[in-house]
Amino acid sequence: MAQIGIIGSKGRMGEALARAIADSGHQLAGGVDQGEAPGPLAAQSDVLVDFSAPAALQANLDAVLASSTPILIGTTGLEDAHHQLIDDVAETIPVLQTGNTSLGVNLLAHLVHRAAETLGPDWDIEILEMHHRHKVDAPSGTAKILGIAASEGRGISLAGNTESGRDGITGPRKEGAIGFAALRGGSVAGDHSVILAGDEERITLSHSAENRMIFARGAVKAAAWLTKQTPGRYTMNDVLGLG
C-alpha cells in the first residue's frame, strides 16, 4: 500500500486520481494546488503524482529532491529546459515522465512502433483521431504520441514527414509521410486509430477511451510501481515491462 500525494488535486485529473487511489486500495496522502508549497506533502508521501503546470515544475522537483520522494510527472507542455531539470533530479530519485498514463495507449504506441519498424516504408501510415466537440487543439496529444512511435519505428523525423489538413487538389501522397486526420463531435472521450496501408491489405490498430479514469488508473499503477524503483528516469513502457 502506497501513500500517494497529488499535485494539482483540485483539477479534473486530480479529482479522478483521488477516486482511482481509493479504488486501488492505496492511500491518498493529500493534495496541493496553485500557491501551496509541495514540500510538506512530499515529506509525508511515498510518491507524488504531478498534473499541474510547467511553471510549477521547478518547485515540485525541489520538494521531492529534498525528501527523496519519487515523482510521476504527467504535466504536458514541457520544454527542453524542463526535461533537463527532470534529467538532473532523476540522478538522485526515481522519476517517471509521460504525456499519457493510459496503459492501453502506451501499449498501442509500442505496437505501432513495432509495426512501423517491421513493415517498413512501403506501408503508408495514417493516424485518425476523434474527440468531443469542445476540444480546442488538433491533432490530439495522443495522436502525436502515436505519430512519434511510428516515426521512430521507421527511423525518421516526424516533423519532416507529417501530412495533415488535406483539402482540395493536394497531389499524390508523399512517400513515407505519416498522415493525421482529426474528427470532432458529440461527447467522444477519445478514439485513435493507426492505419497501416499496403498494397491490397491494411492493418488497423485502435484504442477507445471512455472517460479520463483510464488515465487516473494508469497513473496510480505507475506511481505505485515507481516506489519500488531505484533512481533514474522511467517511462510507461517500463511500467508495462516493454523495455
Find all residues with CB under 8 Å of 239, minimum gap 6, and list them: 96, 103, 106, 221, 222, 225
| Whole-prediction pTM | 0.88
Question: According to the model, what pLDDT value does residue 243 have?
Answer: 67
Residue type, 107: L
DSSP 169-217: S--SPPTT-EEEEEEE-TT--EEEEEEEEETTEEEEEEEEE-STHHHHH
- Write out the chain's pLDDT in tens, 243 residues: 899 999 999 988 999 999 999 999 999 999 999 999 999 999 999 999 999 999 999 999 999 999 999 999 998 888 999 999 999 999 999 999 998 999 999 999 999 999 999 999 999 999 999 999 999 889 998 999 999 999 999 999 999 999 998 899 999 999 999 999 999 999 999 999 999 999 999 999 999 999 889 999 999 999 999 999 999 999 999 999 996
Give all strands of the β-sheet with 27-32 in edge-to-edge order: 27-32, 3-7, 47-50, 71-73, 94-97, 232-234
Question: According to the model, what pLDDT value does residue 106 have?
Answer: 96
Question: According to the model, what pLDDT value does residue 127 have?
Answer: 98
| 131 part of the active site | yes
- Cell readout for 161 is 514527414
Marked catalytic residue, from 26, 131, 192, 221: 131
Cis peptide before 139 (omega within 30 of 0): yes
Angstrom distance (rounded) from CA 146 to CA 148: 5
| 132 part of the active site | no
